Structure 1
Amino acid sequence: MHDSFWTNHQSLGPFKRREFIQTALQLTSAATLISKPGFSSAKEKFSNKSYTVQDIIDLILKEIPGTPYPKSVDTVKSGSANQNVTGIVTTMFATTHVIQEAARSQANFIIAHEPTFYNHTDDINWVQNNSVVKRKQDLLSEHDMAVWRFHDYWHSFHPDGIMYGFVKAANWLPYFKAGSHTLQLPPTSLSELIDHLRTSLSINHLRFIGDPAQRCEKIVLVPGAAGGQVHIALAEKEKPDVLIVGEVQEWETAEYIRDARLQGTPISLIVLGHSVSEEPGMQWLAEWLQPKLPELKIQHIASGDPFSWI
């Protein structure tokens, strides 16, 4: 204690001095107790609260009506539902790079939107004796990494978590209505619309069909890989100026748009890429989930576009 503490007590009377010394000893004992490794404050005890993978899954599904579904691809792909979670990473694909980065950041739970083992149901025997699958399994095991796919449920959230994350990143929330793929934007050219998407979503390259000078107001937005039937049905129903999608079967959606234009319909197509089109939705998942789990570090690691361009 400071010298002034003991100096001050010398000027007290005998009874006051005794009382003063007793108080000082109590304070010293309390300070010693608090400094011991086994002692923690209420706040520290709260911050040490632990969660299992299943606890977090249950917390998320509680926000989505009608869950869990009797049949869904949203299952644990690696690790155990009962393991304690040290940190969470959200991403589109649990790539080798994402797994390594998660491990470096002391996270052991990856929430991925898409498959980990290259097919819709994550069937590891989809191709027998797959060496890439085996090495990925070994990497996950090495880091005790749990992976849970969060696809069907996130699309069932209200609003659709992927759609909301996209329009939020694109600064289109004022034009967005939950449950609708159609947005009415301020008038812009197709070229300006493409530039806006590249900038706001950090996309290096994208593909399009159409006239760069075309005036665009009404858009239909379908991130991910909904398929040609969904794309074409929405285009026929909504008659948009431009259809913005993540991924296409080139012989379906792209050929429909080409023929529509050749027949005189002023409709354009923007193909963003599957991963980059849904990544903003998984970024928003991290933002949405963090306040619900303040004890855990939750971060988004983008899996990125797998393609290079020449």
Structure 2
Amino acid sequence: MNDKPALLNYPALNRRKFFVNTVKATGVLLLSPLVNNASVIINVDEGYTAGQIMDLFINQVPGGAITGTVDTLKSGNRDIKVTGVVTAMFATIDVIRKAIALGANFIIAHEPTFYNHADDTVWLANDEVYHYKADLLKQHNIAVWRNHDYIHSVVPDGVIQGVLDQLQWEKYADQKIPEIITLPATSLANLVGYVKEKLGIEKVRYIGDPAQSCARVLFMPGAAGGRQQILGIGQVKPDVLICGEISEWETAEYVRDARAKGDKIALVVLGHIASEDAGSEFMLSWIKKNIPSLKVTRVKPGNSLSFM
């Protein structure tokens, strides 16, 4: 960990950047074609199993398999012959039904299927919603693979890359730390309006002066946590932190106090799904590039919450 830039010497941004310097130094192409490793060469004539597709992706991640990862099969098994793939942020019941309608039996989801980080289902043993969903997957022989740790570990981070592509911010992102974005200066109001339009967000929560000028952005999608967000603000010194979700008693209160102190800082909270859903587009593109003969569809679960 000591070879990272000083900026990354804390948990906020270094979690998935372990291999950045090594890759840049060696010129290794991480998202290489199908024959990256002989152990995952797929016989096209025989089709693909869920396990082969998983292994192919994992093989392209620096360092390979991750110990203790949550990126496991949540239903089905590795030997299922894949008839089609659906990429989605969540394997919701609606997403599962769409996969069935598409004739797809392999869902690659970014977040948990059963309502907790580890997809532990012991506590749901008597829950009717859990059983309905699990039975639906079993009935249609659908494999669900969570791809969270691995997609965040490719270089560049697949979720970050997907969102930057959707926002058309690739050219503004720092080459070593793409979470740091330097934009042409604009007002906070204009910045929020642009992000809402590009990401299809109805409303966001924010702290700041809508007229304040914003150029330096720290983008932290998902749920990085208050400590990581606050440490990120302290080290990056952005004009605005754009994040997925917050604990209101942590980051929001820190930003409120920072502004009372006189700091020029704003906070924009997109929502977890809105901030990471574009990672499903990255996965769709990855399948098309690496296994072009396989039918793949991105299904957007939409926001679970509505605004009144």
Using the aligned pairs only, state the percent identity. 46
* Alignment partners' CA distance in 1, 2:126 and 2:99: 27
Any conservation in 1 of the 2:71–2:145 contact (CA below 8 Å)? yes
Deviations 1:81-129 (A, max 9, x none): 1110000011111000000001100100000010000001000113441
Match of 2:138 in 1: 141
* Match runs of 1:236-247 below 5 Å: 236-247=234-245
Two-structure CA RMSD over aligned residues (Å): 1.3
List runs of 5+ in structure 1 lacking aligned partners: 1-45
* Match runs of 1:78-227 below 5 Å: 78-176=75-173, 177-227=175-225
Any conservation in 1 of the 2:160–2:178 contact (CA below 8 Å)? no
* Alignment partners' CA distance in 1, 2:263 and 2:127: 46
Any conservation in 2 of the 1:108–1:143 contact (CA below 8 Å)? yes
Any conservation in 2 of the 1:48–1:295 contact (CA below 8 Å)? no
Offset at residue 272 of structure 1 (A) = 0.3
* Alignment partners' CA distance in 2, 1:69 and 1:269: 33
Count of equivalent residues: 265
Residue 73 (1) aligns with residue 44 (2): no
Any conservation in 2 of the 1:247–1:272 contact (CA below 8 Å)? yes
TM-score, normalized by length of structure 2? Answer: 0.84
Any conservation in 1 of the 2:226–2:251 contact (CA below 8 Å)? yes
List runs of 5+ in structure 2 lacking aligned partners: 1-42
Residue 275 (1) aligns with residue 273 (2): yes
Match of 1:250 in 2: 248
Q: Which amino acid aligns with 1:265?
A: D
Find runs of 4+ consecutive structure 1 residues off by over 6 angstroms: none
* Alignment partners' CA distance in 2, 1:250 and 1:143: 40
Offset at residue 197 of structure 1 (A) = 0.5
TM-score, normalized by length of structure 1? Answer: 0.83
Offset at residue 181 of structure 1 (A) = 1.9
Deviations 1:233-274 (A, max 9, x none): 000111110000001011111111111111111100000000
Sort the Cα spacing of 1:171 and 1:180 in 2 relative to 1 into closer, same or farther, 3 A: closer
Offset at residue 178 of structure 1 (A) = 4.2
